[in-house]
A and B are shown apart, each in its own frame.
Chain A
Amino acid sequence: MSNNNIVNIEYNRVTNVTSTDFPSYSQENAFSTIWDTEKFKENLDIEIKSLEERDCNFDLKHVDTSIANAFRRIMISEVPSVAAEAVYVYNNTSVLQDEVLAHRIGLVPLQVDPEELTWCESTAEGDEGAESKYTDKNTIVLTLDIACTRNLNAPKGCTDPKILYHNSSVYSRDLKFQPEGNQAEIFANKPVVPCDDDILICKLRPGQEISLRVHCILGVGADHAKFSPVSTASYRLLPHINIMKPFGGESAIRLQKCFPEGVIGIDEEGKAFVKDARKDTVSREVLRHEEFKSSVKLGRIRDHFIFNVESTGAMTPEEIFFKSVRILKSKAEYLKNCPISQ
């Protein structure tokens, strides 16, 4: 691995951060100037470290920073998802104001496959045309009808509102899907529900009730954070630790303590070695110690991205990533076909 590929983590600055791994870039010492697609294909590597329903951790290696960052940016702001857009309040006697209630409902992530909906035209926002803008093709209707009543069977002296009253808390699960048109068939085996059913929307007390309809449409995170399919999508560079001088005995243990557990191992001879740099959080604690300052070099590998995609639940994280790739591709294609690009 050439030194050129490492971002240097120094005590009070970061150097060698710029990446140059893209076409038509020429450097003075031009032995690696020509960007080779084949070589890129060969080098490109993805390694999935963990994959769960909501969480995905994978390594993307040997691509330029700009590409990795493009994926990250697209996942955050351009992968479409469904969220509540318009809330029609028929009755709301809760303490929360209509606007706040609507805002809270808007932020509830919904388990809807965005492929099933078409884009809703964002024409002029007139109250007259608003109703017609939403059709069964592009809109999902949810309703929330809930009223709080006293629990007559509550034990005496009880102060817990959950026992004292029915529906003292309104959760996201109380949002009910109302199929329009042929939506009942389309969503027959994948019901429209909030991704998490225990998101607290509002609290009620006896006599208070909420009755509203929600129109959910397709949107992108760039428009509003509620349309973002990820709670976070980001990457970090793989840490790289270079112990340039052997440390043994006490100082090895001290060195080990400068890093999170499992980063530095101590071999049979009592010498410290880098066990797993990936686990390092790059806290730069070593650089504070006079004895390690000059003999431990920290760095990060510039083209090794440890991606972490956390989905809100509407889509699986890998789906989100694939979509981001597709979007980037179509963007590139668009750019390629753009008449002015020539």
Chain B
Amino acid sequence: MAVVGTKKSLNKNDEDHSFNELLKDEYKGKKLADPVNKLEDKWELLPAFLKVKGLVKQHLDSFNYFVDTDLKKIIDANQMILSDVDPEFYFKYLDIRVGSKSTSQGKDRTQTPHQCRLRDMSYNAPIYVDVEYTRGKKIIMHRDVEIGKMPIMLRSNKCILEGCDELEMAKLLECPLDPGGYFIVNGTEKVILVQEQLSKNRIIVEADEKKHIVQASVTSSTHERKSKTYVVTKNGKIYLKHNSISEEIPIVIALKAAGLVSDLEIMQLVCGNDSLYQEIFAINFEECSNHNITTQRQALEYIGAKVKTIRRQKLSIFQEGVEAIATTVIAHLTAIDMDFKEKALYLAIMARRVVMAIHDPKNVDDRDYVGNKRLELAGQLMSLLFEDLFKKFNGDFKNSIDKVLKKPNRATEYDALLSINVHSNNITSGLNRAISTGNWSLKRFKMERAGVTHVLSRLSYISALGMMTRISSQFEKSRKVSGPRALQPSQFGMLCTSDTPEGEACGLVKNLALMTHITTDDEEDPIKKVCYLLGVENISVLDSTALHLNFGVYVNGTLIGTTRFPAKFVSQFRKLRRQGKVSAFISIYVNQQQLAVHIATDGGRICRPLIIVENGKSKIAPNHLNLLKEGKFEFDDFLKLGLVEYLDCNEENDSLIALYEKDLANDITHLEIEPFTVLGAVAGLIPYPHHNQSPRNTYQCAMGKQAIGAIAYNQFRRIDTLLYLMIYPQQPMVKTKTIELIGYDKLPAGQNATVAVMSYSGYDIEDALVINKASIDRGFGRCETRKKTTCVLKKYPNHTQDILAGMRVDENNKPIWQHEPLGADGLGEVGMRVESGQIYINKSIPQVAEPTAMNANGINQAAPAAFKNTPVVYRAPEASYIDQVMMSVSDDEQSLIKVLLRQNRRPELGDKFSSRHGQKGVCGIIVNHEDMPFNDQGVSPDIIMNPHGFPSRMTVGKMIELVSGKAGILNGSLEYGTCFGGSKLEDMSKILVENGFNYSGKDQLYSGITGECLQAYIFFGPIYYQKLKHMVLDKMHARARGPRAVLTRQPTEGRSRDGGLRLGEMERDCVIAYGASQLLLERLMISSDAFEVDTCNKCGLMGYSGWCNTCKSSENIIKMTIPYAAKLLFQELIAMNIAPRLRLSDVFAK
């Protein structure tokens, strides 16, 4: 009531409002009892977020960061090329750019993405560098030297589509709804999937309680190397373990080697004043003193002796030890001038974490916790690859410079720039190859990763979108552990809870939720400075006794200082972040257990925006939302004003987030923008998913990607290998907010079918559907397939090339039947019908393609044009129509022909359909209109669904969809089925009643066959149905006789080879058990590979033509029929020097 009071007093001040209006029950659509600050429209932030970020912004951000920032870093790190020969010579990279020259404004490329798709080219942009080098005595600067081409991510800031509006996109033949974020390499669209990894440079403590092992590990990753350092327990003692050190090093020795010579200091750093920890750790000193090691030098020598090295020049043991500590152990920390203090501290902290875990086994980290994961995106992967290629490029470049400089006398002064172009193809082809094959092989890290890229699935708009948000895990699929596959509570809002495949990749392949952002790397040093400014005591001046008394401040896992007032420090830091003084994506949180304040600036963290709450009030006020609606505010304004902030998983755990506004209390720190953002783009299509059994939503996520619908606005311009399109797609009657946000209502995949949930005809068992024939006649479920055939007219070394042979005509000057679809040029004509056996590309290849010895000099000596006809023949059960014929020239100057064949299909028996609730079924029978049941209005259903689909599946959402849809029809509105919201069932029922229908959605129906009333009320209304890509026409297969395999003479296998249907082992067992020996003989031999052989009854071997070649006689030859495979086996055995002899006798002795 206090809230009401504020409203009243507010309005009293406002004289403009008439008092009478206030007395009304409702005031401007709001009830008096409503709280004033209701942020009903806070979901509007979501479209605003997506407008700024887009659905694939993580890919674009990452790629933009790579081309704008990371490339420059790589150039800086590999700046100089020096010659081993000439000490005077140097070659230096000054700057690098992608796509545009330093002089030009914007992008000066002409090739468009769609052209690349059609012409099988790669969508890329030149990489320009500015260089400085010596020529003789002079220093020369050169700008805009092209060193290769970089594949460009569509819609990134180097893409010509960036910032295009709908009209410009249309001019470039692009779909404005296409999310971008993929590459086009050799005409195929390739996506670099997001890779999930354990976070780098962080300590992870694990414990194996059975084996009493506790281990802290850290994976160090720098530009140069990757290595893993462990601190492990063994028999209660703690050791340092590293791959390049052959033995475990007692931790005290390791710490001494790192410069902590005093035992007291070690004890203080590891255990602090805690006597329990000291007790656990004390035993380790004994081990050290057993080895008699007291000085740093001794310790380093001890380690040096155990280092595994493959070095060219031998170092002393001491040097090896120094080298090991300096570069290999915890490699991400750099030691300057033998100052190992940082490393010692890091090791001590690792040891402390182990001690803590020994003391209390609960003090371990969770590998599966989302906060401990980092996502690797296209940009990072590209940067790894580019650096590798660039290093190789520079190496080759250096070699060729050395080669030239080695020559003692040169006529002119050597210009190093001349050699650069020789290698310019390496980078281009290296990048292209990696993206098109998906094999990421990096020599530096000995990394060999396959399957990084995938072909963008264009089955439907949703499948393409789903692919862009997919995250693949590095984890092995075959292992049977549930941990990494399980749904993590920390996934909330970050990763979709429903969208994961079934089967072996279940839980390993995930999808991003709707409102997520993945961070890119941020600079560490300014953050450190900020920390010191905020009163953090620098670790380098800190007394080791005081270390564990206060809270440690860690930046990206490395201790940089301590603070006595963590809460104050954190809140001050957050204040700075909200003011925009530091990057919005830097997270800070307190870990009470470890007495630590963690600050993360690294890339690959998943984070999401939340509304900031202060003193139990949301910082966003309704007027902000009004400004947003009026278009005066953007999402970034909310960020800048400190109304909204990004939290990553770790910081989320340090906050109290209210789900709804009503939950706001004083200790609440944040408010959720919209709860339905826990789902991703694909799961967002499901109406009322919160009413469904959860696996059903997961099934729908898999099936939504197979639904046929509209793919893109440019779908008719595309020439894809295989494309399924729906003729009359409809937007669903029951939408969700997500549907509107991702544009599914503009590119839908399905139709609103009127469904009667009833049993009919018995052809509907096992989820089969009964479909109304009249609906099909009128266009329900009609779809189109488009298949591409590519044909290259090759050019050969002897100046011949493939040609199109024209068309052959009969005596009436009409084309022969096979050539009917062809035009005079030998190519199919657009619009022609092509039947099985007809030719649509009449190609001929020259018979002699190699240059002969005589005319190798290049002059073609009037070689007779001998061509072999190799036409492309259409083979399919149904005829097709030629939709498009494209002739072009590919990248390598060869003529490229693409023919697109189209097929129009109406639903038939066995075609697969599904609703949006994981309820799939095939068409079981097509029923005439007059036989369909009908209701009072004369409406008969399009689909009859068997009610048995409901009890066990528990898809209540589907029922609510039906009721809402029905209400929507009667009301003339589209209803919402948004997750955790949407139109209320009660309201929908009310609409039904108001329109003279039963509240439950059940109608009284009449049988179409008898005309009588049905004895039950039938649940009747619209449900959105998707047609799935599995169609009978593509799968049907039968064979009587047909091709046989050459080797065994058995029928071939598989539909594509017109193969036979196998009577397999288990079927054979049945026949044996039944005793049907003649059937067995017929199936396994006579109908398969029966073969008549002449066997010799004397020697038992096989002869031929009535003659035994072993016995040299025809006396004992007996003809018999055996499987050809058996004959083959005998002959193979003979070839192995084993003689299988057939001994024949009568079964029924006389």
Binds A, one of B272-280, B321-329, B771-779: B771-779
Tell me the minimal C-beta distance from B710 to chain A in angstroms.
12
Are the C-beta atoms of A72 and B929 separated by less than 8 Å?
Answer: no
- Given the interface contacts A12-B1017, A68-B1011, does A89 sit within 8 Å of B777 by beta carbon? no
Are the C-beta atoms of B929 and A77 separated by less than 8 Å?
Answer: yes
Cβ < 8 Å to B, chain A residues 62-109: 65-66, 68-70, 72-73, 76-77, 89, 92, 95, 97-100, 103, 107
- Given the interface contacts A281-B936, A285-B999, does A76 sit within 8 Å of B1013 by beta carbon? no
Are the C-beta atoms of B883 and A97 separated by less than 8 Å?
Answer: yes
Are the C-beta atoms of A9 and B831 separated by less than 8 Å?
Answer: no
Q: Does A225 contact B (CB under 8 A)?
A: yes
Contacts of A12 in B (CB 8 A): 1016-1017
Are the C-beta atoms of B881 and A99 separated by less than 8 Å?
Answer: yes
Tell me the minimal C-beta distance from A200 to chain B in angstroms.
13
Are the C-beta atoms of B999 and A65 separated by less than 8 Å?
Answer: no
CA of A279 to CA of B999, assembled, Å: 18
CB-CB contacts of A7-44 with B at 8 A, as 1s and 0s?
A: 10100111101110000000000000000000000000
Cβ < 8 Å to A, chain B residues 987-1005: 992-993, 996-999, 1004
Tell me the minimal C-beta distance from B885 to chain A in angstroms.
14
Contacts of A234 in B (CB 8 A): 934, 937-938, 1006
Contacts of B847 in A (CB 8 A): none
Q: Does B80 contact A (CB under 8 A)?
A: no
The 7 closest A-B pairs by CB, nearest first: A69-B1011, A234-B938, A281-B996, A225-B777, A99-B904, A225-B774, A73-B930
Contacts of A9 in B (CB 8 A): 1004
Contacts of B1017 in A (CB 8 A): 12-14, 284
Contacts of A77 in B (CB 8 A): 928-930
Tell me the minimal C-beta distance from B392 to chain A in angstroms.
49
Q: Which of B782, B784, B997, B1012 has its CB near the most chain A CB atoms (within 10 A)? A: B1012
Q: Does B949 contact A (CB under 8 A)?
A: no
Tell me the minimal C-beta distance from B713 to chain A in angstroms.
11
Q: Does B872 contact A (CB under 8 A)?
A: no
Are the C-beta atoms of A283 and B996 separated by less than 8 Å?
Answer: yes
Contacts of B996 in A (CB 8 A): 260, 281, 283
Tell me the minimal C-beta distance from B68 to chain A in angstroms.
37
CA of A232 to CA of B1015, assembled, Å: 23
Are the C-beta atoms of A224 and B1015 separated by less than 8 Å?
Answer: no
Are the C-beta atoms of A65 and B1010 separated by less than 8 Å?
Answer: yes
For the A-B complex with A18-B1012, A284-B1017 known, give 14 more contacts whose Cβ atoms are closer than 8 Å: A12-B1017, A13-B1015, A13-B1017, A72-B1011, A107-B779, A221-B930, A222-B928, A225-B774, A233-B938, A236-B1006, A237-B1013, A281-B996, A285-B993, A285-B998
Residues of B in contact (CB 8 Å), total 40
Contacts of B777 in A (CB 8 A): 224-226
CA of A58 to CA of B998, assembled, Å: 25
Chain B residue at minimum C-beta to C-beta distance from A76: B930
Are the C-beta atoms of B1010 and A14 separated by less than 8 Å?
Answer: no
Q: Does A61 contact B (CB under 8 A)?
A: no
Tell me the minimal C-beta distance from B754 to chain A in angstroms.
13
CB-CB contacts of A200-236 with B at 8 A, as 1s and 0s?
A: 0000000000000000000001101110100011111
Chain B residue at minimum C-beta to C-beta distance from A15: B1015
Are the C-beta atoms of B778 and A225 separated by less than 8 Å?
Answer: yes
Contacts of B950 in A (CB 8 A): none
Contacts of B1004 in A (CB 8 A): 9, 14, 282
Contacts of A18 in B (CB 8 A): 1012
Are the C-beta atoms of B998 and A17 separated by less than 8 Å?
Answer: no
Are the C-beta atoms of B1013 and A73 separated by less than 8 Å?
Answer: no
CB-CB contacts of A167-196 with B at 8 A, as 1s and 0s?
A: 000000000000000000000000000000
Candidates B881, B938, B1016; contact of A14 at CB < 8 Å: B1016
CA of A184 to CA of B1015, assembled, Å: 54
Identify 19 residue pairs between A and B in the complex whose beta-carbon atoms are under 8 Å apart, listed by A's number.
A14-B1004, A14-B1013, A17-B1013, A18-B1012, A65-B1010, A66-B1011, A76-B929, A77-B930, A89-B831, A97-B883, A103-B727, A107-B778, A221-B774, A224-B777, A225-B774, A234-B938, A284-B1017, A285-B999, A308-B938
- Chain A, interface size category, equals 35 or more
CA of A303 to CA of B426, assembled, Å: 87
- Given the interface contacts A95-B716, A97-B904, A100-B727, does A72 sit within 8 Å of B930 by beta carbon? yes
Chain A residue at minimum C-beta to C-beta distance from B934: A234
CA of A77 to CA of B777, assembled, Å: 13
Are the C-beta atoms of B883 and A14 separated by less than 8 Å?
Answer: no
Are the C-beta atoms of B998 and A69 separated by less than 8 Å?
Answer: no
CA of A224 to CA of B926, assembled, Å: 13
CA of A234 to CA of B940, assembled, Å: 10
Contacts of A222 in B (CB 8 A): 928, 930
CA of A100 to CA of B728, assembled, Å: 10
- Given the interface contacts A15-B1015, A66-B1011, does A284 sit within 8 Å of B998 by beta carbon? yes
Q: Does B1008 contact A (CB under 8 A)?
A: yes
Chain B residue at minimum C-beta to C-beta distance from A7: B1013
Q: Does B819 contact A (CB under 8 A)?
A: no
CB-CB contacts of B930-958 with A at 8 A, as 1s and 0s?
A: 11001011110000000000000000000
Tell me the minimal C-beta distance from A130 to chain B in angstroms.
13
Tell me the minimal C-beta distance from A111 to chain B in angstroms.
20
Are the C-beta atoms of B938 and A232 separated by less than 8 Å?
Answer: yes
Tell me the minimal C-beta distance from B875 to chain A in angstroms.
20
CA of A124 to CA of B1030, assembled, Å: 31
Contacts of B904 in A (CB 8 A): 97, 99-100, 103
Contacts of B1015 in A (CB 8 A): 13-15, 17
Q: Which of A12, A284, A308 has its CB near the most chain B CB atoms (within 10 A)? A: A284
Q: Does B902 contact A (CB under 8 A)?
A: yes
- Given the interface contacts A17-B1013, A65-B1011, A285-B993, does A103 sit within 8 Å of B998 by beta carbon? no
Cβ < 8 Å to A, chain B residues 715-747: 716, 727
CA of A95 to CA of B1008, assembled, Å: 39
Contacts of A236 in B (CB 8 A): 936, 1006
CB-CB contacts of B249-266 with A at 8 A, as 1s and 0s?
A: 000000000000000000
Contacts of A156 in B (CB 8 A): none
Q: Does B1014 contact A (CB under 8 A)?
A: yes
Q: Does A245 contact B (CB under 8 A)?
A: no
CB-CB contacts of B912-934 with A at 8 A, as 1s and 0s?
A: 00000000000000001111001
Chain B residue at minimum C-beta to C-beta distance from A102: B904
Tell me the minimal C-beta distance from A221 to chain B in angstroms.
7
Contacts of A72 in B (CB 8 A): 930, 1011
CA of A13 to CA of B779, assembled, Å: 34
Are the C-beta atoms of B993 and A17 separated by less than 8 Å?
Answer: no
Tell me the minimal C-beta distance from B292 to chain A in angstroms.
88
Contacts of B1006 in A (CB 8 A): 234-236
CA of A152 to CA of B1069, assembled, Å: 80
Chain B residue at minimum C-beta to C-beta distance from A231: B938
Q: Which of B939, B999, B1006, B1014 has its CB near the most chain A CB atoms (within 10 A)? A: B1006
Tell me the minimal C-beta distance from A251 to chain B in angstroms.
18
CB-CB contacts of B334-363 with A at 8 A, as 1s and 0s?
A: 000000000000000000000000000000
CA of A99 to CA of B905, assembled, Å: 10
Candidates B831, B929, B938; contact of A92 at CB < 8 Å: B831
Are the C-beta atoms of A97 and B774 separated by less than 8 Å?
Answer: no
Are the C-beta atoms of B928 and A97 separated by less than 8 Å?
Answer: no
Tell me the minimal C-beta distance from A287 to chain B in angstroms.
9
Are the C-beta atoms of A221 and B1013 separated by less than 8 Å?
Answer: no
CA of A86 to CA of B1041, assembled, Å: 37
Chain A residue at minimum C-beta to C-beta distance from B820: A127
Are the C-beta atoms of B999 and A288 separated by less than 8 Å?
Answer: yes
CA of A99 to CA of B1016, assembled, Å: 41
Cβ < 8 Å to A, chain B residues 595-615: none
Q: Does A240 contact B (CB under 8 A)?
A: no
CA of A18 to CA of B902, assembled, Å: 50
Q: Which of B782, B936, B939 has its CB near the most chain A CB atoms (within 10 A)? A: B936
CB-CB contacts of B895-920 with A at 8 A, as 1s and 0s?
A: 00000001010000000000000000
Q: Does A304 contact B (CB under 8 A)?
A: no
Chain A residue at minimum C-beta to C-beta distance from B905: A99
